[in-house]
Amino acid sequence: MTSPRVWRYRGVVSALVSVFLVVVPAGFAAEAAAYPNPGRVTGDISVHDPAVVKTSSGTYLLVHTGDNLAIKTSTDRIAFRNAGTVFPGGAPWTMTYTGGSRNLWAPDISYRNGRYYLYYSASTFGSNRSAIFLATSTTGASGTWADQGLVIETRTSDNYNAIDPNLVVDAQGRWWLSFGSFWSGIKMISLDPATGKRSGSALYSIAGRNGGAIEAPYIVRRGSYYYQYVSFDLCCRGASSTYRVMVGRSTSVTGPYVDRNGVAMTSGGGTEILSGHGSIHGPGHQAVFSDVDADVLVYHYYADNGAARLGINLIAYDAAGWPYVY
């Protein structure tokens, strides 16, 4: 696998840039501090809202937004190939929410208890008449997924939106689902680990921008902190997209999450770790997983021609425990 050498090279470059910033005039800082480009990926890399899990065999299974949810696989985290769809026969149970479209959104994939768990969204653009469903599979392959039904839905009378799910398991083994987009922000509910479905009626607010553009939560536990990654600003406008990746952290899975400056994420806080630069437009809808070389940030961005592309970078942590991308 050649990618570790590529990533290490980037790490050296990032370190040299940091030194450079100390000695150059302030006017050069913005250019020198530019975010790294995505790592090298090849093959079938047309992707929107990617989520990745590494399988027990060492391969990578990627699922993303698309008709009936698209699947890609890779043996080395560089070369990706199309591998069918989650529901090759369609998902008619979702069409109440999609207006008849086969396009399903923002899957979240993980491996728990000997099965792959896939949470996914059904909605239409700009609406909060939405739903999150769960499917499971023992292999993750196309056509092997069994739908387990509705997890949570929202109606137009609700002040939040049931899309962009992410499963997190806390230090005590409890299951939680974060989700949300615009409206009153990012929410969290408790799940029953036996079923993967909602448990109880509690609804937690864990991030928001007073109705502004925030979505795509992804929470990971590292050490004594839970890190909540979200996307600020606007997706889905091709090269005009302004998506950017923000992060905050908490010692409790349900919050409060704060950014590096101590601003609560429920009050619009968030520390930026990746945004558009050069020909990389609107990077966001991020997911994070751990690999042998580092934690890995997976996201989509838009090329100059407006096409959505797969982005992969590694994550490191500074002396205060805050993540940065290289």
Per-residue pLDDT tens for 60-95?
Answer: 999 999 999 999 999 999 999 999 999 999 999 999
CATH annotation of 41-325: 2.115.10.20
Give pLDDT, residue 225.
Answer: 98
In the predicted model, is pLDDT for residue 176 greater than 90?
A: yes
**Reported confidence tier of residue 152, pLDDT bands at 50, 70, 90:** very high
Range with the lowest mean pLDDT among 12-21, 107-116, 253-262? Answer: 12-21
Confidence of residue 33 (pLDDT cuts 50, 70, 90): low
Nearest C-alpha neighbor of 279 from the set 316, 247, 241: 241
Using CA atoms, how far residue 150 sits from 133, 153, 176, in Å, is 5, 7, 15
Q: Say whether 212 counts as a known binding-site residue.
A: no
Picking from 98, 226, 220, the residue whose alpha carbon sits closest to that of residue 166 is: 220
Predicted pLDDT at 30: 38
Please give the pLDDT value at position 240.
Answer: 98
* 181 in a known ligand binding site: yes
| Mean of pLDDT values over 288-310 | 98
Nearest residue to 56 (alpha-carbon basis) of 122, 154, 159, 139: 139
- Average pLDDT score over the chain: 91
Query: Is residue 76 annotated as involved in ligand binding?
Result: no
- Contacts of residues 5-11 at CB distance under 8 Å and 24 or more positions apart, as own/partner, are 6/39, 6/40, 7/39, 7/293, 7/294, 7/314, 7/326, 10/36, 10/39, 10/314, 10/326, 11/314, 11/316, 11/326
265, with CB counted inside 10 A (0-12, 13-18, 19+), is: buried
Give 34's pLDDT tier (boundaries 50, 70, 90).
confident
Active site residues: 49, 215
Any binding-site annotation on 182? yes
Which strands make up the sheet holding 79-85, listed edge to edge? Answer: 42-43, 79-85, 70-74, 60-64, 51-54
Residue 269 annotated as binding? no
**Percent of the chain residues topping a pLDDT of 90:** 89
Residue 27 reports pLDDT greater than 60: no
pLDDT for 317: 97
Residue-wise pLDDT for 215-262, tens only, equals: 999 999 999 999 999 999 999 999 999 999 999 999 999 999 999 999
Taking 90 as the threshold, does the pLDDT of residue 319 lie above it? yes
| Three-state DSSP state, 101 | coil
Using alpha carbons, select from 277, 256, 278 the residue that is nearest to residue 265. Answer: 256
d(CA 162, CA 134): 13
pTM: 0.89
Q: Is 170 annotated as a binding residue?
A: no
pLDDT(304) > 90? yes
pLDDT of residue 32: 35
Asked whether residue 52 carries a pLDDT value surpassing 70, the answer given is yes
